[in-house]
Structure 1
Amino acid sequence: MDEKHILGDLAWTQQRTVSRSKFWVIITSFLSCFYIILHSWLGILPSTTESGSLKYNEELISWQSCGSFKGNPLECSSINVPMDQFDLGFPGDRTFTIPLVRMRGNNATQNLLLNPGGPGASGFEFLYRLGEQLKAVVGEGFHLLSFDPRGVNSSTPIASCYPDDRTRQKLSRVRSLHVIGDSPEVYAWAQNFAKACPDTMGEYAKYLNTPQTAADMNSILDALGQQDMIYWGFSYGSLLGQTYAGLFPERSKRVIIDGVVNQFEWYEGLFEAQSVIDTDTVLDGFFDECINGGAENCSLALLAASKEELRDTVLSYMDTLRDQPISVYINNSVYGLLDYEKVWYNGFLEALYKPSMWTALADNMYRLIQGNATNAFLAYGIEEIRDWHHEANEFITLNDGISGPMHWPRDRQTFLDKIAPLFNHSLFSPVQSKIYYVRQHWAVPKTHSYVPRKSVKTTHPLLILSTTYDPVCPLIAAWSANEAFEGSQIVEVKGYGHCSVAVPSVCIAKHVRAFLYEGKLPDTYTHCEVDSPYFHRSDKSEQLSAHKHFEDVEEARIHQAQVLLARDWDFVSAN
């Protein structure tokens, strides 16, 4: 074939290809326009207002673009809620402003509300930092929406016991971890703190509580044009979820509570002693898994042949550290004392929440016991400025429960005698000491009447998630929620850590998806396995790698996201 014919055939082929391309461009454009028109009509795609904000059909609020996280765009809005949600005659000019943040799902028509815990944790920080991983677990069928509850973070007015951060840093510190020796100081400090909080907040102080926040979530739903509550709450967020379901069972269609707080103890008990009943068991699990992992994965295994021997070795060293803190000098701007409290509470207690920290804790402790305190000091000994610039945790805890002189003896010694048995429940119990002294002196009147009940029938039963051994929200609390809500079901992750997301488990993700999308609950009490070793070695570049191989692509993606969640989640105690 000559060159002329070749060029002619080539030209004809190119023309045909162009024609086909134009055809598919036209078809694709038509389908895209149809998609946009249809989704806009359904309210899935936004219209743009004159101010540049986004407005969706059925919603009563507008949104502004507020950044993105790893390619996932975020949008922000806010609503005003009444100071008192339960008194419709209350003056309407007194409100809380509740900021909202949302990561949209590609195939979503409904919003999944998320609360990370606390009380006092920021929903904004939560979604900005972990939204991508949560989206991978939940899927594209829901918009992920979180918020800063009243009094928290960027809400206004913010819950505060001090006029500014400088005063907070100056006046908020008090020693309380030596239960007997620190008692006189914390007893005196708590009296001033209990006066400063309502003095700073004024009338708003009375309305910082969980039932009010639960009612605020209805205001959020109403602003979204969404009737049904779809919710996943972690730690204290489980208490918020239970409170919501107890107050508004008719709107509770898909409620997941994860790392469960016992609402009966929270609202009606003098002590929350149950919260620490498994804390020492998790500590024992740390020693057990260390021995099982071997010295190649857990440095501390070099010091003992059994978990019992290792426990004795570490606790004996901690007694030595209690008697004599260590002076650590790195340079003229980085030095200080490494003492028992810093290692025990900043190191061990924090790691009990997050097993992903266990390998590093073992390495630091091994070096410390061998005489090198540098790593432990850098990890646990440098006093950090408190991240939270509010006292929402204290306000909500104290306003929810049984506080004040009507319930507690006024003199210090009688009070100390009353709370002393609490500190026998766990090696970590002294961390609760300070809040009880404030309970003794708290004088803010209670403005909610919520009383937990059993056998509450919700629109759809609750899904309850827990690990076998949670250091602060024990499995027994999940059973209390199971009794409280008719038809609810527990799925237990057979492992250690705070909330189901403390460890990777694709099994848990499958149950979450089946519940959210189809309303499916297991027929009976169900167990899920952990998909990760507790101790493992990896260099910095490999920390994002999967811990288990999955043939299914979607399961592998979920597992990868769960590994990141377990590593990066900043768990916030309800205590």
Structure 2
Amino acid sequence: MDISRSTLRAIGAAFAAVALLLAGCTSGAASPRTASPTKAATRAALAAYYEQKLSWHECRGGAGFECATLKAPLDYARPDDGHDLKLAVSRKKASGPGKRLGSLMVNPGGPGGSAIDYLQSYAGIGYPARVRARYDLVAMDPRGVAASEPITCLGDKQMDAFTQTDQTPDAPAETRSLVASYQKFARGCAARSGEILGHVSTVEAARDMDLLREVLGDRKLTYVGASYGTFLGATYADLFPRRVGRLVLDGALDPALASEQINRDQTAGFETAFTAFAKDCVRRASCPLGTRDVPQARERLTAFFTRLDAHPVRTGEPRRLGESLATTGVLAALYDEGAWPQLRTALRSAMRGDGSGLLTLADLYYERDGDGSYANLMYANPAVNCLDLPPAFRTPADVRKSLPAFQKASPVFGKALAWSALNCAYWPVRPTGTPHPLHAKGAAPIVVVGTTRDPATPYTWARSLASQLTSATLLTYNGDGHTAYGRGSACIDTAIDTYLLTGTPPPSGKRCN
């Protein structure tokens, strides 16, 4: 199946915090340490990190990108205990003309998405020329992600099996099997990742960003964060409001929501995105979900998933396409309306017995390469999520109680997404965060961007975050897909470029179509 470059970027780089098929780890929690040092000793130890110098060199592959390694403490409460992390950094220097405005840090979301990959494959060459001319574009893989001390949990064959686990258990034995798969994933996480599992929170990643800001020589942070990257940016602003320069938070998360509400809202978001896809599909004679209306399309897709649950179809390789992988493939394509043609083709083929197209989409979501190897996105994702917030559910019984609400949010995806939210119940490290609003009092103007039919970060979240941050302006894109900047709206791009180059935010309430 032909996947366009823009679709690959949208699917592979800007995932939200959806807990799809992710399991936590069960084993011993990180071991406690002894008495905390004094505040003065902590400040003195941190000073050495803030005063470090980066040693830049040409990145592998060249193309004008430089790479370096930033040293950060594993535990910011005990920065003098000798436990350091090595965090990968990359940049592309301002190309000119015009006066250099400093560094522009970027993060594509996830959590677990590689910021360096995003910079080198898209932002460093695809951001508007006038922005690239004035800023050094900079990316740092967050702790636990990609090239920065990556979290790992399973071997590739084990991960293949995990992604095929039945996510819609219909009997006690299937429920036990699902829980067992989470626990197996869990044991792998604990065995392979160790102490870093307790130190990959968003707060710690935001503190790493402040280290990098200082080491780069920037008095204030300029930043574009997408999806989960908005939570990272808003957390930074709340921690260091006086160090905020120009922040763009695109496809916003709502930090005040508990995990169950987040998962339920995202379930409704995917239903909204599917409705938009179905409305477009049924107008076409070749639509595999019928040509009548959205309810018919919904019924046909649900029936198709049910058939796959009992009878997976061939894919041209040993893996067969069952309900779980098919659901993942459909959800992946709903991140960007540019993937709708591929989704129609993949569904049509799968309904005729060839699941290779949907499997390709699912593999893009899971960052599975053609050689069968997985990137660490799906390991870092729960590591961050389960540390940031208490679990949505603690037992299978909790999930069953929630099913009516999830299925009301989405008759198609509700059951699978409810069960996938059980993952953090098995995490080995206690959560360090709680849901709470972020205000960033005293920060410079911040731009929050929301897309009205965003599947993964519903528009209501952008409105909520903009209302929480005391200096925020909400910029609205009336359209489909996940995030808005750089996705074809001249209105959105002009507003954001102007803000980045001049510091002037768009007018309050500005909407783009």
TM-score by length of 2: 0.78
Asked if 1:518 is matched to 2:502, the reply is yes
Asked if 1:62 is matched to 2:62, the reply is no
Q: How does 1:375-390 map to 2 (within 5 A)?
A: 376=357, 379=360, 384=368, 385=372, 387-389=374-376
Residues 490-519 of structure 1 show CA distances to partners (whole Å, capped at 9, x for unaligned) of 111111111114841111110111111112
Q: Shift of residue 422 of structure 1?
A: 5.2
CA contact (8 A) 1:355 1:503 kept: no
The answer for the alignment partner of 1:398 in structure 2 is: 386
CA contact (8 A) 1:109 1:142 kept: yes
CA contact (8 A) 2:263 2:417 kept: no
Alignment size in residue pairs = 448
Residues 287 and 395 (structure 1), Cα distance of their counterparts in 2 relative to 1, 3 Å cut: same
Find the partner of 2:86 among 97, 100, 104.
97
Asked if 1:132 is matched to 2:113, the reply is no
The answer for the alignment partner of 1:178 in structure 2 is: 168
Find the partner of 1:119 among 97, 111, 115.
111
Greater C-alpha radius of gyration: 1
The answer for the alignment partner of 1:558 in structure 2 is: none
The answer for the alignment partner of 1:106 in structure 2 is: 95
Task: Tell me, in whole angstroms, the C-alpha distance in 2 between the residues paired with 1:175 and 1:320.
Answer: 16
Find the partner of 2:271 among 272, 280, 298.
280
Structure 2 SS opposite 1:201: helix
The answer for the alignment partner of 2:414 in structure 1 is: 429
CA contact (8 A) 1:467 1:500 kept: yes
Structure 1 SS opposite 2:462: helix
In the alignment, structure 2 segments of 5+ residues that lack a partner are 1-50
Residues 479 and 310 (structure 1), Cα distance of their counterparts in 2 relative to 1, 3 Å cut: same
The answer for the alignment partner of 2:26 in structure 1 is: none
The answer for the alignment partner of 1:238 in structure 2 is: 230
Find the partner of 1:77 among 57, 64, 68.
68
Asked if 1:151 is matched to 2:144, the reply is yes
Residues 57-84 of structure 1 show CA distances to partners (whole Å, capped at 9, x for unaligned) of x993231011567xx5100111100112
Q: Shift of residue 428 of structure 1?
A: 2.1
Find the partner of 2:346 among 351, 357, 364.
364
AA of the residue aligned to 2:390: I
Structure 1 SS opposite 2:256: helix
Residues 170 and 308 (structure 1), Cα distance of their counterparts in 2 relative to 1, 3 Å cut: closer
Where relative contact order (Cα < 8 A, 6+ residues apart) is larger, the structure is 2
Structure 1 SS opposite 2:422: helix
AA of the residue aligned to 1:63: W
Structure 2 SS opposite 1:338: coil
Structure 1 SS opposite 2:180: helix
TM-score by length of 1: 0.70
Asked if 1:504 is matched to 2:488, the reply is yes
RMSD value over aligned CA atoms? 3.2
Asked if 1:343 is matched to 2:326, the reply is yes
The answer for the alignment partner of 2:463 in structure 1 is: 479
Task: Tell me, in whole angstroms, the C-alpha distance in 1 between the residues paired with 2:297 and 2:156.
Answer: 43
The answer for the alignment partner of 1:570 in structure 2 is: none
Residues 238-291 of structure 1 show CA distances to partners (whole Å, capped at 9, x for unaligned) of 11011111111111121111111111125x767632222221111111122235
AA of the residue aligned to 1:248: F
Residues 322-361 of structure 1 show CA distances to partners (whole Å, capped at 9, x for unaligned) of 4543346x5xxx4663333333321x21111021111122
CA contact (8 A) 2:335 2:455 kept: yes
AA of the residue aligned to 1:247: L
In the alignment, structure 1 segments of 5+ residues that lack a partner are 1-57, 530-575
Q: Shift of residue 173 of structure 1?
A: 5.6
The answer for the alignment partner of 1:40 in structure 2 is: none
Residues 148-171 of structure 1 show CA distances to partners (whole Å, capped at 9, x for unaligned) of 111111112x22335xx4685488
Q: Shift of residue 205 of structure 1?
A: 2.3
Residues 288 and 166 (structure 1), Cα distance of their counterparts in 2 relative to 1, 3 Å cut: closer
Residues 64 and 185 (structure 1), Cα distance of their counterparts in 2 relative to 1, 3 Å cut: same
Structure 2 SS opposite 1:264: coil
CA contact (8 A) 1:174 1:189 kept: no
The answer for the alignment partner of 2:424 in structure 1 is: 439
More deviation in 217-226 or 171-180?
Answer: 171-180
Task: Tell me, in whole angstroms, the C-alpha distance in 1 between the residues paired with 2:308 and 2:382.
Answer: 31
